[in-house]
Amino acid sequence: MKIIILTIILIIFLSGCVENSYDAYSKEFAGINLRFRANLDEARKVPVYPNETTLAAVLLNKDVEEIGIAYIPNESQNSYYLVDSYELTYKLSIINKYYFGRTKFFDSIPVNSSLEALTIATKQKPIIMLMGPSQTNSTIVNVAGYFITVQGKSFEEINTNYTDLDLATDKLLLVLMELETQNSI
């Protein structure tokens, strides 16, 4: 009887010492533990139009030499664009190094309109346009040819430390990072 009680106490004690290592703000990719601004469980819910396969086909094309990150300058929103541009550049470099053994060039492109950004998108230089609440009322990732919009309907951080634009940015990155688990590349 004493052995059973000691075993139960030992099991309870050991179960308290085992730590749950899941972190909704980080992901292991290419042997690196990457931190994200947004909760990845929430980012996974952001829709991609027309679909994730189309997004991956544009950005993970071996012919892509450079990726443009466009935005419409706005004094109150520029800091949000800067933060998400950095996250895209840093993590897309890791993704491209993993899949292709090299990184791509990145270009920050202030534009006057999304139409202007659309006209400069090519197969060799797709454009990712960051759009905040002054340009959109949706939180989505949309692909139209070689033009990708990453849209966040709000910059409010109520009960979170991230914005809707962070969610959409992280969704784009997750799609590319999770391809190997989907055997799509």
Report strand pairing: 26-29 vs 32-35: antiparallel
Query: What total of structural domains would you count in the chain?
Result: 1
pLDDT of residue 41: 97
pLDDT of residue 159: 76
pLDDT of residue 137: 95
Q: What is the dihedral of CA 154, 160, 161, 166, to 10 degrees?
A: -40
Cα four-point dihedral sign 106, 180, 174, 116: positive
Which amino acid is residue 5, in one-letter code?
Answer: I
Judge whether 175 and 52 are in contact, CB under 8 Å: yes
Which amino acid is residue 58, in one-letter code?
Answer: V
Q: Which domain holds residue 108?
A: 2-182
Q: What is the pLDDT of residues 121-160, one digit of tens each?
A: 999 999 999 999 999 999 999 999 999 999 999 999 877 8
Return the structure tokens found at 89. Answer: 């550049």
Instruction: Work out the angle between the directed axes of helices 78-100 and 164-177 (0-180°, nearest 10).
Output: 0
DSSP state of 10: H
Q: What is the pLDDT of residues 62-94, one digit of tens each?
A: 999 999 999 999 999 999 999 999 999 999 999
pLDDT of residue 23: 92
What's the CA gap between 108 and 56, in Å, rounded? 21
Return the structure tokens found at 180. Answer: 């190997």
pLDDT of residue 179: 82
Report strand pairing: 48-49 vs 140-144: parallel
Q: What is the pLDDT of residues 46-55, one digit of tens each?
A: 999 999 999 9
pLDDT of residue 3: 58
Strand, helix or coil for residue 12: helix
Q: What is the pLDDT of residues 7-30, one digit of tens each?
A: 555 455 555 555 557 899 999 999
pLDDT of residue 22: 84
User: Around Cβ 135, how many Cβ atoms within 10 Å?
Assistant: 18
pLDDT of residue 182: 53
As separate numbers, helices (DSSP H) first and strands (DSSP E) second, the chain gives: 7, 8
pLDDT of residue 118: 95
